[in-house]
Structure 1
Amino acid sequence: MIGRRLPRLILLCGLPGSGKTTLAKRLASEVPALRLCPDEWMAELGVDLFDEQFRDRLERVFRKHALDLLRIGQSVILEFGFWSRAERDEMRVAGRALGVSVELHYLAVPFDELVRRVDARHSEGMVGTVPITRELMTEYQRLFQAPGQDEVDLFDYSQP
């Protein structure tokens, strides 16, 4: 590809309030890349952000769409949170099978700051936000599998 950059698959990993959307918007402009954010689509469609079955179906569609876009040379940012290593591995392997660069951007933020941020964005009335209690964030933190260095080393680029 003379004069063109190879497409990039960028995975944003982190809990609510970690800054995924802020980073995704900046990267979408800089790369440039198409940004796929389930929360925004669900809010726009009027779907409850806690509807896990719908979210799972939407993320499956986004994964397929992302791979189709990568095949035609379009860089893509998946703003899913990627809470499990299995999810991250699946997309890394799929991207590599297409011959594209796969990046992991893990946004590690202290727990109390996450809680402060989700409280602030909800109280400010940001579109597409829902109240997330400290108790729910505690449960999310318990479910979240942070990437270790062994995993980070598998990506073409990763943001600490």
Structure 2
Amino acid sequence: MAKLILICGKLCSGKTTYAKTLPGVSLSVDELMLSLLDPYLGDMHQVYTARAKAYLFQKAEELLSMGVDVVFDWGFWKAEERKNTREHFARLGHTVELHYLKIPGDVWEARIEGRNQAVLRGEVQAYQVDENLRSMFESLFEPPEEGDIDHFITI
């Protein structure tokens, strides 16, 4: 039976780098959206994010039904999203694992600065993390409970 891996972690914690080390097809909301849309969507960002996730859910269902492992490379910041995703795919008969990347604050700050500089130089296709995004993240992120984590990775 194919497996779905949910990658949970803060912005700039290394989720995409980690996802690339795992077997299976990596599905990334950021990759999809940055390939198709302007990175500065304002109030529409959440609308397009929800649409991208719905599309990637469909792709994951197709791949898993063919026996292909899938890695969801997005933050899973909220406990409810993690729970709903796990339950949805478990109902379809798939194994679901949560991999949590925990990053110390000083390392996190350095990575945000490094990513922002790389974006400005055009070296990476990623979202620049400004104070608004950082503040939004701080107010939204709910670290997973220990019992919900299948693989704990400390950065």
TM-score range, shorter chain: 0.7 to 0.9
Equivalent pairs, count: 147
Aligned to 1:17, which of 12, 15, 20? 12
SS in 1 for 2:10: coil
Task: Return the offset for 1:135.
Answer: 5.3
1:66 has 2:60 as partner: yes
Runs of at least 5 residues in structure 2 that lack an aligned partner in the other structure: none
User: What residue number does 2:37 align with?
Assistant: 46
Aligned to 2:3, which of 1, 8, 11? 8
When normalised by structure 1's length, the TM-score is 0.82
1:149 has 2:149 as partner: no
Task: Return the offset for 1:52.
Answer: 1.8
1:122 has 2:116 as partner: yes
Q: Distance in 2 between matches of 1:137 and 1:109?
A: 15
Q: Percent identity?
A: 33
Letter matched to residue 10 of structure 2: L
Q: Distance in 2 between matches of 1:98 and 1:10?
A: 15
Q: Distance in 2 between matches of 1:66 and 1:82?
A: 16
When normalised by structure 2's length, the TM-score is 0.84
CA contact (8 A) 1:42 1:49 kept: no
Superposed CA RMSD in Å reads 1.8
Task: Return structure 1 stretches of 4+ with deviation > 6 angstroms.
Answer: none
Inter-CA distance 104–126: structure 2 relative to 1 (3 Å threshold): farther
User: What residue number does 1:106 align with?
Assistant: 100
Runs of at least 5 residues in structure 1 that lack an aligned partner in the other structure: 1-5
CA contact (8 A) 2:79 2:142 kept: yes
Task: Return the offset for 1:104.
Answer: 0.6
Deviations 1:36-91 (A, max 9, x none): 11111112113326522111110111112212221121110001210111111111
Aligned to 2:88, which of 64, 86, 94? 94
Letter matched to residue 111 of structure 2: R
Aligned to 1:35, which of 19, 26, 34? 26
